[in-house]
Structure 1
Amino acid sequence: MSLEKKRELAAKVFRHTAAYDALIADYLTNFVGETEPEQFTVTFEKKQSLRYGENPHQAATFYENALPAKGSLATAKQLHGKELSYNNIKDADAALQIVREFTEPAAVAVKHMNPCGVGTGETIAEAFDRAFKADETSIFGGIVALNREVDKQTAEVLHTIFLEIVIAPSFSQEALDVLTAKKNLRLLTLDVEADLGKKKGKAADKCPWRTACSGY
């Protein structure tokens, strides 16, 4: 076995054992209620390679927490459409954070990390109609997050707009029949009402993180 191969395998072994130790440390830290440990160690697993980063000349990879929080984007189930891009992931996460602020039926449209429409109503169809009318231009090519099941009425309106992603807790079969007619439209389901870190929990689950040079 060559020295190069030995180094490659050694790196793989230490990544594996370090990840295991990090999970134990995270569990014990949470168990004793420590919220600001002197060392903060987490482990992530590769979820997918992305076609490119924020710009076409940049590389990007999506990693998920080894024990992802319920309702996080990493746990979303993709029902239809192309694979997610770097910008899709950022925009989808932003839309989810906003729509989670509401308990009543709500819809949020985001494009390039900027909200371009937020609406609430008695029904999810009414909520989306209000979000759409807030800015009928900027929503083009954007992402929509809803906190109720998408029904046929809402799907028929969504179908008339060019969108990258629609996120919801679920889609009725009639809604899926309408929306899957667009082969590239990404349809994601997840627990939109999940509480990510607002209650006491693991530090690694308290989203979002903010990065600075050599720090978090």
Structure 2
Amino acid sequence: DDIASSPPPPAARCETEEDLDFSSCDLKHLSKEALRNICLRLGLRLEEHIFPILDSEIGVNEDGASEMTKYVWAAQECLSIEIEVDEMEDEDPEGLEALERAMLDEDPQLLADILAEVLEKNPDLLNDLEAELKREDPEHYQGMIEELSEGEALIDRPELVADLISLMLAENPDYMDVINEIDEDIAYEHEDETDPARAGKEELRQEL
């Protein structure tokens, strides 16, 4: 059915992904910008990555669905992808690694684009990767620094880090292990912090 944006109860805050509980605050209560940001957090762009998937699966561009409906479906698709990746990390890490390598072989620029989006949302990961790049490949790192404008830092240009990582992965796919290790270290450092963005993930898992 077509989905119209429906406001939550007046007393409830329901403006961002962090507010989701999938009962009093559901995806359909969020704005299109908030729904788009759910996908951007994962490094996924609606027009480039998600709408084509939805169109191939359910003909989203042919069934007359409203724009709001498409955004809700897209956000749900992004959260479903995140759940599937989480499950693969736990149950089949080798399969996930093979998927990452296949993605790199098929479209290195797509991987660079996704990395750039993820790094933009995760400055801790960007800073750790910068230190790793400086240590592992100082020549390429210096070339990347020279591309910065006066007053800019790499935190302002995550796409430069993403492009360099993509290049290094193309030359040595095993570098993905380094990226995963850094990401796991950051997750461990923050494991005791409340993560409201994932508070309703189990409810969504049951719905899908």
Q: TM-score, normalised by structure 1?
A: 0.30
Q: Which structure has more helix as a fraction of its residues? A: 2
Q: Which structure has more strand as a fraction of its residues? A: 1
Larger radius of gyration: 1
Q: TM-score, normalised by structure 2?
A: 0.31
